[in-house]
Amino acid sequence: MPLKPMPMKVIRDLGCFVRSLWGSWSLSLMDRYIATQLINPLLFSVGLVSVLGVAIGYLSDLADKVVDSNLPLIQASEILLLKVPEFTAYALPISVMLSTLLTYGRLSSDSELIAFRGCGVSLYRLIIPAVVMSLLVTGVTFLVSELVVPAANYRATGILVEYLQEEHPYWQNKDIFYPDYEQVVLPNGEKEKQLKHLFFAEKFDGQNLKNLTVLEWLENRLNRIVVSDSATWNGQEETWDFFNGTLYKLAPDASYKEADPFEHRQLPLSKAAFEFALQGRDPYEMNIIQASQYMRILKMMGDDKKLRTFQVRIQQKLAFPFICVVFGVIGSSLGSTPQNMSRATGFGLSVVIIFAYYLLGFLIGSLGLMGLISPVLAGWLPNILGLVMGGYLLYRFAES
């Protein structure tokens, strides 16, 4: 008998495998039922917690700025809208806790979980819809936290700086100080970091450094000083453009040897100072890529304190979305207890757990900022402890 073509056989076998795999992983009636019970409280909780968060956490402060500092109402409304994504990101994990605790609490009080377990379904199997939902919400939380929240927070801070001249510690809009170092090889072969340039500008408008002074060292001595009304980075020619200034050349004894006034002068200095001024933001106003780039600048500057702050904040940003999984496991485990749980009791218990968890996160994060534990541990230890607690509760109630 002639053999059938091999490619057709492979395609047919692969199709059968995919169909069998899809059938084994398709949602059962029980999964669909529990999922539908979870969705409505989840959506309601996200809306409720987001609105309450904006109202309690920011509306009062914003009203004070409108009344006391004469912030225009249009800009105040814009700031309020820009803060919605941040509070929504915070609301998503909290909503997972509320929805799982209330849903599984209702299923337990109505004896539906007893009926499922009487049919041979374990508690581990019953919480799978909650875990899957938690993973999906984790992805949404990560996308919102990375793609929307940093840009919205940066714009909101920009409005306050523009209209109220508010001071923000990470914003490099005035008194910008940047030391530029280089690695030199000593006669004994060791490497040493030496100061090459020192930049100081009074203001930065997002494009130009105002009243900029640059000191340049050559072979451990001050070689020249550039003073200008303004300067900016020329990206096309990869150089600095200085305007209306004077270039002072110094003699070996540090006396002025020559003064050269100019209206426009291009100097091939490092771009790092301009990047430092341009990227100066609060860690919560940067996504992970921007924060990583800024950390390289801080490392070159030798600012270990601020560098550690960014290292801890990056790990916390990476770990934050996975709080949804932690809260999903804890909420569904606690809700599955045999005791009847009212909605008021479930809500109160959720508040206590959430408060304790965030307090723990704050304390562990503080240890990381002080350098007592590593940044990775400072970011992820609360999640690890939360999963251990959730796993213990799940095991205890599943075996009871």
Residue 12 pLDDT > 80, yes or no? no
Residue 17 pLDDT > 50, yes or no? no
Supply the pLDDT for residue 133.
93
Rounded average pLDDT over 80-94? 92
Provide the CA 298 distance to its chain's centre, in angstroms.
18
Supply the pLDDT for residue 334.
84
pTM of the model: 0.71
Same domain, 350 and 393: yes
Cα–Cα distance for residue pair 51/63, rounded to 1 Å: 16
Q: Does 302 reside within a domain?
A: no
Same domain, 387 and 318: yes
Same domain, 204 and 133: no
Q: For residue 226, with 0-12 CB atoms within 10 Å meaning exposed, 13-18 middle and 19 or more buried, which class applies?
A: buried
Supply the pLDDT for residue 338.
66
Same domain, 317 and 192: no
- Continuous H helices in the chain: 6-25, 29-54, 60-68, 73-109, 112-118, 123-126, 128-143, 149-164, 272-278, 288-301, 304-319, 323-335, 343-369, 375-399
Residue 344 pLDDT > 90, yes or no? no
The per-residue DSSP string of 187-206 comes to TTS-EEEEEEEEEEEEEE-S
Supply the pLDDT for residue 113.
82
Q: Residue 176: which of 208, 202, 210 has the closest Cα?
A: 202
Portion of the chain with pLDDT greater than 90, in percent: 28
Supply the pLDDT for residue 43.
92
Same domain, 186 and 160: no
For residues 145 and 89, is the Cβ–Cβ distance under 8 A? Answer: yes
Q: 272, 303, 328: which is the final residue of a domain?
A: 272
For residues 133 and 103, is the Cβ–Cβ distance under 8 A? Answer: no
Instruction: Give the SS3 label for residue 104.
Output: helix
Rounded average pLDDT over 42-67? 86
Residue 89 pLDDT > 90, yes or no? yes
Q: Residue 351: which of 42, 97, 40 has the closest Cα?
A: 97
Cα–Cα distance for residue pair 74/58, rounded to 1 Å: 16
Residue with tokens 């029980």: 30
Which range (196-205, 298-307, 349-358) has the least confidence? 298-307
Rounded average pLDDT over 278-296? 76
Q: 272, 302, 332: which is the final residue of a domain?
A: 272
Same domain, 263 and 208: yes
Supply the pLDDT for residue 160.
81
The length of the chain, given as a count of residues: 400
Portion of the chain with pLDDT greater than 70, in percent: 86
pLDDT confidence of 300, banded at 50, 70, 90?
low
CA angle at 143 for the pair 310 and 378, rounded to the nearest 5° = 35
Supply the pLDDT for residue 6.
40
Provide the CA 213 distance to its chain's centre, in angstroms.
34
Q: Does 281 reside within a domain?
A: no
Which range (16-20, 68-72, 123-127, 293-297) has the least confidence? 16-20
Residue 15 pLDDT > 60, yes or no? no
**Which of residues 226 and 186 earns the better pLDDT score?**
226
Q: Does 8 reside within a domain?
A: no
Q: What is the number of domains present in the chain?
A: 2
Same domain, 34 and 157: yes
**Rg, Å, the chain Cα set:** 29
Rounded average pLDDT over 107-117? 82
| Side chain identity, residue 300 | M
Q: Does 20 reside within a domain?
A: no
Same domain, 52 and 140: yes
Same domain, 326 and 381: yes
Q: Does 15 reside within a domain?
A: no
Same domain, 363 and 341: yes
Q: Does 279 reside within a domain?
A: no
Q: Residue 101: which of 45, 52, 148 has the closest Cα?
A: 45
Q: 211, 243, 272: which is the final residue of a domain?
A: 272
In the beta sheet, which residues pair with residue 103?
A: none
Rounded average pLDDT over 276-305? 75
Q: Does 296 reside within a domain?
A: no
What is the phi/psi pair of residue 263, to 5°? -95, -35
Same domain, 37 and 83: yes
Q: Residue 228: which of 196, 265, 274, 178 has the closest Cα?
A: 265
Same domain, 232 and 319: no
| Side chain identity, residue 25 | W
**Which of residues 325 and 65 earns the better pLDDT score?**
325
Rounded average pLDDT over 327-348? 76
Residue 79 pLDDT > 60, yes or no? yes
Residue 8 pLDDT > 80, yes or no? no
Q: Does 66 reside within a domain?
A: yes
Supply the pLDDT for residue 195.
79
Boundaries of domain holding 194? 172-272
Per-residue pLDDT of 375-387, as tens digits, reads: 999 999 999 999 9
